[in-house]
């Protein structure tokens, strides 16, 4: 087996060549690092290294280079490394001494993937997906002030593995207030847990420290209270118990000096996702409240009693965040009563995830002391980037931990996925930046695509551009076929709820053979332009679109963006037989599928006019002839047209046409004129 240090040295010699190739990618191409560069060698039990910058440093969006001041972990940064950038702390909260204390009012939380291009001493140079190849978001390190708690970002080095079969458990280094708490892996092929556990349990935000106090001038209903100084703590002067650590900052007693939360760290209010401290319920600090549980995907539970127990941490924003630490129990003497730490963040990007095995993101329990106990830590956050059709055949544990005695239980963590159509129990969270190794360099051949309604979602400037924009519906249930020309081999898949589809061929199936990809466009849909797969536009015949490709290993065909347009709805409402000489009101209904204009026409001599009801509510505008002006419509809008007709003595058919003209860059695309008819039969 190649020693780990020697393995990295060999890889470093080829980094310059690899980076030169990557930097030569055309504009708009995915940003990649070096998929599989760390081979199949099992990384250390704690596989990540962690870095952060000076305590007063802001990295603006677009930043390409910055200073690092702290490192934890076995492996230093080098050119070609993949890294995850995280704003760990940075939430604004309400700080009034009132029931809404700790509610999140704003958040600077962000996360993205970057590639390390060069390391010069303590200066690191990165390639990202932001402006001019820099950071997408802004990241800030700042100490606590009178207005906000401390802010902290970290950069996490992520191993780029070819494949990995665990032969032991793995875990993250716990969060220490500056770095840690994250376990992240990027695997080009498969990750097999092999019966082992990857864990960030208890590695997240720290629980509140217990402080023995004799009492001061606090009130049982306080939501926040002044932090006792070091001198006051020596003589036990102060009131209430400490809050936990979370997104809005760190209590003073968990830092080496400095400030904690605005207006103090003590009291039952829960700052963001951290649990609140139990209150001292009398001036002698003998009646004691228990700590509240930390929060994350769910809020933590409050500690007992109702009138003075620490509040549970608030639910976190949907992001890569650590579970909140539990609040401490109020103490008069002795040790104990600390809150439990929350679970950390686990990030896995792999072409395949295999079990059995466990992903452990649980919070840790609060601690008891005498008759009072600390709150439990919240569960952490799991984020998976797997192929859309991949299963998750492992056990995920992301529960919050129990509080001690009457302490509140921590809230459950978050389970997130990159996919637009995540599995049950997972929510979708895209994280931008450098792509996953299995996407940049897939093993075998990979074919992907998306079907969407290219109507601009109400914005005509975005319609017909061949790009899936916000507001445009993704279309499920469209069947795609991948086959060889002889017809001896065939696979079929349908688009999911997010409109995506994919075929994955193994290396054995990717022999350079010719294949065709095809889809049949239903009759009520139109294809305004032929999208290309690679550089080849699709060939259209009898409503079927086909692309030729070659199944080559380690190649991705796509993503193919198939933008389609639905035919506008245009239908008539049947009417019963009518009395000759009377006037009938015939009804027609139009449903717009694009933003643009629509014109209604009729050539029937018996039509007395067109009544247009834009809201289908009974209020109409009338024209004295059988042709309307062009009316502006928005995609999704419904319009009713009523046609007054004098009934003759013979059966007669009245036809009204609808001509739709799309706005935006429709090019040569045009809808055919639509016709709807009503047959009027005179009553006998």
Contact 541, 582 (CB under 8 A): no
CATH 2.60.40.10 fits 569-680, yes or no: yes
**Residue 311 CA, distance from chain mean position:** 28
Q: What's the pLDDT score for residue 25?
A: 36
Q: Where do we find the tokens 């906000």?
A: 148
The residue length of the chain stands at 684
For residue 572, how many other CB atoms are within 10 A of its CB?
Answer: 19
Pairing of strands 139-141, 427-428: unpaired
Q: What is the edge-to-edge ordering of all strands in the sheet holding 638-646?
A: 569-573, 583-591, 638-646, 610-613, 621-623
Q: What's the pLDDT score for residue 10?
A: 36
Nearest to 619 by CA among 651, 642, 602: 642
Q: What distance in Å separates the CA atoms of residue 49 and residue 675, rounded to the nearest whole number?
A: 67
What the block records as the tokens of 33 is 């690092």
Q: Which residues contact 64 (CB under 8 A, 6 or more apart)?
A: 125, 126, 127, 128, 132, 133, 134, 135
Where, residue-wise, is CATH 2.60.40.10 in the chain? 442-566, 569-680
Q: Which fold has domain 442-566?
A: Immunoglobulin-like (2.60.40)
Q: What's the pLDDT score for residue 626?
A: 47
Query: In whole angstroms, how large is the CA radius of gyration of the chain?
Result: 32
Strand partners, 87: 153
Q: Which residues contact 291 (CB under 8 A, 6 or more apart)?
A: 208, 241, 244, 275, 276, 277, 278, 303, 309, 310, 326, 327, 328, 329, 337, 339, 366, 373, 374, 375, 403, 407, 408
- DSSP 3-state assignment of 27? coil
Q: What's the pLDDT score for residue 622?
A: 60
For 578-632, what is the HEC assignment? Answer: ECCCCEEEEEEEEECCCCEEEEEEECCCCECCEEEECCCCCCCEEECCCECCCEE
216-237: pLDDT as tens digits: 999 999 999 999 999 999 999 9
**Residue 430 CA, distance from chain mean position:** 4
Nearest to 109 by CA among 420, 414, 438: 414
- Torsion angle defined by CA atoms of residues 276, 281, 287 and 289, in that order, rounded to the nearest 10 degrees: -20
Q: Which residues contact 213 (CB under 8 A, 6 or more apart)?
A: 228, 233, 236, 237, 238, 239, 240, 280, 285, 330, 331, 332
For 632-678, what is the HEC assignment? Answer: EECCCCEEEEEEEEECCCCCEEEEEEEEEEECCCCCCCCCCCEEEEE
Q: What's the pLDDT score for residue 618?
A: 76
- DSSP 3-state assignment of 447? strand
Q: Which residues of 183-205 are buried (b: 16+ CB within 10 A; e: fewer)?
A: bbbbbbbbbbbeebbbbbbbbbb
Residue 555 carries which DSSP code? Answer: E
Q: What's the pLDDT score for residue 627?
A: 56
Contact 545, 519 (CB under 8 A): yes
Q: Which residues contact 455 (CB under 8 A, 6 or more apart)?
A: 463, 472, 565, 566, 593, 594, 595, 635
What the block records as the tokens of 680 is 């009027």
Q: Which residues of 299-312 are buried (b: 16+ CB within 10 A; e: fewer)?
A: bbbbbbbeebbbbb
Q: What's the pLDDT score for residue 628?
A: 61
What the block records as the tokens of 505 is 């061929």
Query: Concatenated DSSP letters for 163-198?
Result: -EE-SS-EEPPPP-SSS--EEEEEEEEEEE-TT-EE
Residues of the chain falling short of pLDDT 70: 1-29, 389-390, 420-421, 576, 621-628
Contact 281, 304 (CB under 8 A): no
Q: What's the pLDDT score for residue 611?
A: 86
């Amino acid at each position: 087996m190649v020693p780990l240090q020697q393995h990295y040295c060999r890889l470093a010699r080829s980094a310059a060549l690899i980076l030169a190739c990557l930097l030569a990618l055309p504009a708009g191409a995915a940003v990649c690092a070096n998929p599989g560069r760390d081979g199949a060698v099992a990384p250390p039990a704690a596989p990540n290294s962690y870095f952060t910058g000076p305590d007063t440093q802001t990295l603006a969006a677009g930043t390409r280079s910055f200073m690092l001041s702290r490192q934890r972990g076995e492996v230093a940064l080098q050119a070609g490394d993949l890294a995850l950038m995280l704003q760990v702390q940075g939430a604004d909260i309400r700080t009034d001494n009132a029931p809404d204390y700790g509610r999140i009012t704003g958040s600077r939380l962000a996360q993205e993937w970057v590639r390390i291009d060069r390391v010069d001493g303590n200066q690191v140079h990165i390639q990202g997906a932001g402006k001019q190849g820099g950071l997408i978001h802004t990241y800030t390190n700042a100490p606590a002030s009178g207005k906000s708690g401390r802010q902290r970002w970290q950069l996490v080095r992520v191993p780029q593995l070819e494949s990995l079969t665990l032969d032991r458990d793995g875990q993250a280094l716990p969060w220490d207030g500056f770095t840690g708490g994250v376990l992240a892996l990027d695997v080009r092929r498969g990750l097999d847990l092999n019966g082992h556990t990857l864990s960030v349990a208890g590695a997240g935000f720290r629980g509140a420290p217990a402080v023995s106090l004799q009492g001061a001038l606090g009130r049982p209903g306080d939501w926040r209270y002044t932090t006792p100084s070091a001198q006051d703590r020596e003589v036990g002067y102060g009131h209430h118990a400490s809050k936990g650590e979370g997104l809005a900052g760190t209590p003073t007693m968990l830092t080496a000096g400095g400030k904690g939360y605005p207006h103090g760290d003590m009291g039952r209010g829960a700052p963001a996702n951290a649990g609140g401290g139990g209150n001292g319920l009398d001036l002698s600090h003998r009646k004691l409240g228990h700590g509240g549980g930390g929060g994350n995907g769910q809020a933590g539970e409050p500690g007992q009693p109702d009138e003075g127990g620490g509040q549970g941490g608030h639910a976190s924003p949907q992001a890569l965040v650590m579970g909140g630490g539990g609040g401490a129990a109020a103490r008069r003497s002795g040790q104990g009563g600390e809150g439990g730490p929350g679970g950390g963040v686990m990030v896995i990007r792999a072409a395949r995830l295999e079990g059995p095995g466990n992903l452990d993101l649980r919070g840790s329990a609060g601690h008891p002391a005498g008759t009072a106990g600390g709150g439990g830590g919240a569960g952490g956050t799991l984020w998976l980037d797997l192929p859309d059709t991949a299963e998750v055949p492992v056990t995920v544990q992301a529960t919050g931990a129990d509080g001690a005695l009457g302490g509140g239980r921590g809230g459950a963590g978050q389970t997130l996925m990159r996919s637009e159509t995540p599995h049950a129990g997972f929510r979708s969270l895209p994280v931008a930046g450098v792509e996953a190794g299995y996407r940049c360099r897939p093993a075998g051949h990979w074919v992907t695509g998306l079907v969407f309604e290219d109507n601009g979602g109400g914005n005509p400037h975005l319609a017909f551009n061949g790009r899936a924009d916000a507001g445009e519906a993704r279309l499920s249930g469209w069947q795609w076929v991948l086959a060889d020309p002889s017809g001896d081999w065939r696979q079929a898949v349908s688009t999911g709820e997010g409109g995506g589809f994919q075929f994955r061929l193994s290396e054995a199936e990717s022999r350079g053979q010719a294949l065709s990809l095809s889809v049949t466009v239903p009759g009520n849909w139109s294809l305004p332009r032929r999208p290309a797969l690679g550089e080849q536009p699709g060939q259209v015949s009898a409503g079927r679109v086909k692309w030729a490709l070659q199944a080559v290993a380690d190649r991705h065909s796509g993503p193919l963006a198939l933008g389609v347009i639905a035919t506008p709805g245009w239908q008539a409402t049947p009417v019963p037989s009518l009395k000759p000489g009377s006037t009938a009101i015939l009804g027609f209904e139009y449903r717009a599928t694009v933003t643009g204009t629509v014109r209604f026409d009729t050539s029937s001599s018996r039509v007395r006019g067109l009544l247009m009801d834009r809201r289908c509510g009974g209020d109409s505008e009338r024209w004295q002839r059988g042709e309307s002006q062009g009316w502006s419509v928005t995609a999704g809008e419904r319009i009713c047209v009523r046609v007054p007709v004098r009934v003759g003595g013979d059966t007669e058919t009245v036809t009204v046409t609808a001509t739709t003209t799309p706005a935006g860059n429709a090019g040569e695309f045009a809808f055919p004129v639509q016709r709807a008819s009503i047959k009027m039969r005179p009553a006998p």
